[in-house]
A = this chain, B = another copy of it.
Amino acid sequence: MTHSWSSSSGGKDVHLDWSPGGGRGALAAAIRTAIRDSRWSPGDVVPSTRALAQDLGIARGTVTRVYADLVAEGYLRTSQGAPTRVATAGDRPEAAARRGSQATVPEPRWNLMPGRPSLSMFPAAEWLAAMRRVLQRLPAEVFGYQRPGGVRALHESLARYLARSRGVLADPDRIVVCAGFTQCTALLSQVLLARGEHEIAFEDPSLPQFRRIAEAAGLRLTGVPVDGQGLRVSALDSPAVVVTAAHQYPLGVPLAPSRRTELTRWASRTGGLVVEDDYDGEFRFDHQQVGALQALAPERVVYAGTASKTLAPGLRLAWLVLPRALVPEVHAAVAASGAQPPALDQLVLAELLDSGAYDRHVRRCRAEYRVRRERLLAALPVAPQGLAAGLQLLVRVPDEAAALAACRRASIGLEGLGGHWVSRMDRWGGLVIGYAAPQKHAFAGALEALTGALRDVLP
């Protein structure tokens, strides 16, 4: 319903999109809109409260209160004995009501994205039950502000978990909980810069996301080649290096024992920092897991773990176990970032770790992903690269572009190896196939779609 009247100042017809049922709030909104849309201009006299009330058929008191609100908000101004005028000096909002214009890429039908755990494996009941127990305690951490580094109870639970599951030398005082390994990377980059270092090495190939974060922080990137033994430590010539020792991403090889020793020697000799990105250390299918590199040199190696592969990336929970000397520097970087993961989620994770629910969940996932990996291997006419481990598989292809195009046509989401290379010359083509991502019921379909799509592009 539109009301209109002539403003006594400029003789304009001013339209108010206003329906009488909406009350005071609706009238105020209609007047704000009229002002923003320049139907009224700064300095214009607005109708008297009496005139507007009469025109709209509402109580004068209502209009008086709306005007008072709009004066308080700075839309209108009054002065003793003079009529009320439009006061705003603000900018015109440009298309403020525009909706839904963000470009959205349609989701592929078959989700074989690497590094994603399965939606249908998420332990929703356990997560909710643990959260209910935490909330019953009304923990003070949830209602105050945290210290940098995270919630103490989680530090203690993680220290126990990491010692028993990954052989990490984990002192709770040295643990910092972050919003994913993405934030871990940003924080460690800040620490390096604050120490006057300007370069960090990543494995070549490796996940480009983390490289981009280090680069955005202002570090120079170098790539260190990976061969069948893992990182070629002899090629290392940077003050710091990020290494996926247990299961190289995306090649899938473990860092060989001799290279582990060589790497910690390098760190001791040069004072270099090793960041061990243990993103999927829980998921080795063939054998008892290899313990963390960190335990060999806890004053040189930063251990980094995450809930992104075990629970869900959307929880944004990861943790660092730091050399003692780095703790105050990382705390300072956390404080400067202003960003900490929610205390509530941290306490829920602690509860899951302490109750054994986390271990049980990891075992269930390990069993499921092992079977999926075998089914994927049986369906593909190629040998995979790397260990029987993790949430994804790298398959070598003669023509990566053609293979990716075939997958796109079949509406399959996965990744090409291409974007993972840093700089090395002997690039080759591959597909990084995440077999963990599909829901259980969708795995068979995804597999069939994949084998169909790759039929003509695999040798």
Contact = CB atoms under 8 A, between A and B. Distances in A.
A164 B28 CA distance: 11
A405 to B, nearest CB: 22
Contacts of A72: 254, 257, 290
Given A72-B257, A179-B179, A313-B144, A300 B213 contact: no
A107 B139 CA distance: 12
A339 B213 CA distance: 11
Counting chain B CB atoms within 10 Å of each CB, the highest count among A107, A180, A332, A338 belongs to A338
B316 A341 contact: yes
Interface residues of A, number: 118
Nearest to A135: B124
B143 A314 contact: yes
Contacts of A102: 152, 172-173
Contacts of A291: 28, 32, 69, 73
Nearest to A75: B296
A380 interface: no
Contacts of A184: 338
Contacts of A341: 179, 316, 342
B336 A213 contact: yes
A93 B74 CA distance: 63
Q: Which secondary structure dominates chain A's binding surface?
A: helix
Interface string A175-197: 00011111111110000000000
A340 B315 CA distance: 10
Contacts of A95: 171
Interface in A68-114: 69, 71-75, 77, 87-102, 107, 111, 113
A164 to B, nearest CB: 8
A144 B314 contact: yes
Interface stretch (A115-123, A420-428, A445-453): A115-123
B122 A299 contact: no
Contacts of A159: 99
15 contacts: A25-B288, A72-B257, A73-B290, A74-B260, A75-B296, A77-B257, A89-B268, A91-B264, A93-B298, A99-B156, A119-B140, A178-B338, A179-B341, A186-B339, A217-B336
Interface of A: 24-25, 28-29, 32, 36, 65, 69, 71-75, 77, 87-102, 107, 111, 113, 116-120, 122, 124, 127-128, 131-132, 135-136, 138, 140-146, 152, 156, 159, 164, 167, 169-173, 178-187, 209, 212-213, 216-217, 254, 257-258, 260-261, 264-265, 268, 288, 290-291, 293, 295-300, 312-317, 324, 332, 335-345, 437, 439
